[in-house]
Structure 1
Amino acid sequence: MLDYFTWDFWQPHSLWLMFISAFLSATVLPGNSEVVFLALMSPLALKDNFSFSSDMLALLTSAVIGNSLGSLTTYWLGRWFPEANLRQCAHPRTRWAIEKMQRYGVIILLFSWVPIVGDLFCAIAGWLRLNGVLTMLFITLGKLVRYIFLMFFGWATLF
Structure 2
Amino acid sequence: MDEQSSLLALFTSSFLSATLLPGGSEAVLAGVLMAYPELYSSALSVATLGNTLGGMSSYVIGRLLPDEKAMRSKIGNKNRGLEWVHHHGAPILFLSWLPLIGDVLCVAAGWLRIHWLWAVIFIAAGKFARYWVIATAIS
What TM-score do the two structures reach when normalised by structure 1?
0.79
Q: Following the alignment from structure 1 to structure 2, what is the Cα–Cα distance between the partners of residues 11 and 132?
A: 32
Q: Do structure 1's residue 70 and structure 2's residue 54 form an aligned pair?
A: yes
- Which is higher, the Rg of structure 1 or of structure 2? 1
Q: Following the alignment from structure 1 to structure 2, what is the Cα–Cα distance between the partners of residues 83 and 91?
A: 14
For the 8 Å contact 1:78–1:123, the answer to whether it is kept is yes
> What are the Cα deviations for residues 14-60 of structure 1, in whole angstroms up to 9, with x where unaligned?
11010000000001011110000011111333xxxxxxx4x211111
For the 8 Å contact 1:84–1:128, the answer to whether it is kept is no
Aligned AA (2:27): V
Q: Following the alignment from structure 1 to structure 2, what is the Cα–Cα distance between the partners of residues 19 and 57?
A: 14
How big is the shift at 1:154? 1.6
The share of aligned pairs that are identical, in percent, is 34
For the 8 Å contact 1:71–1:119, the answer to whether it is kept is yes
Q: Following the alignment from structure 1 to structure 2, what is the Cα–Cα distance between the partners of residues 36 and 98?
A: 31
Q: Following the alignment from structure 1 to structure 2, what is the Cα–Cα distance between the partners of residues 35 and 83?
A: 37
Q: Following the alignment from structure 2 to structure 1, what is the Cα–Cα distance between the partners of residues 23 and 2?
A: 18
Tell me which residue corresponds to 1:122. Answer: 106
CA-based RMSD:
1.9
Q: Do structure 1's residue 137 and structure 2's residue 129 form an aligned pair?
A: no
Tell me which residue corresponds to 1:29. Answer: 21
Q: Which has the higher helix share?
A: 2
Q: Following the alignment from structure 1 to structure 2, what is the Cα–Cα distance between the partners of residues 26 and 38?
A: 17
Q: Do structure 1's residue 147 and structure 2's residue 139 form an aligned pair?
A: no
Tell me which residue corresponds to 1:49. Answer: none
How big is the shift at 1:10? 5.4
How big is the shift at 1:83? 3.9
Q: Do structure 1's residue 14 and structure 2's residue 6 form an aligned pair?
A: yes
How big is the shift at 1:114? 0.4
Q: Do structure 1's residue 41 and structure 2's residue 48 form an aligned pair?
A: no
How big is the shift at 1:72? 0.3
Q: Following the alignment from structure 1 to structure 2, what is the Cα–Cα distance between the partners of residues 154 and 96?
A: 34
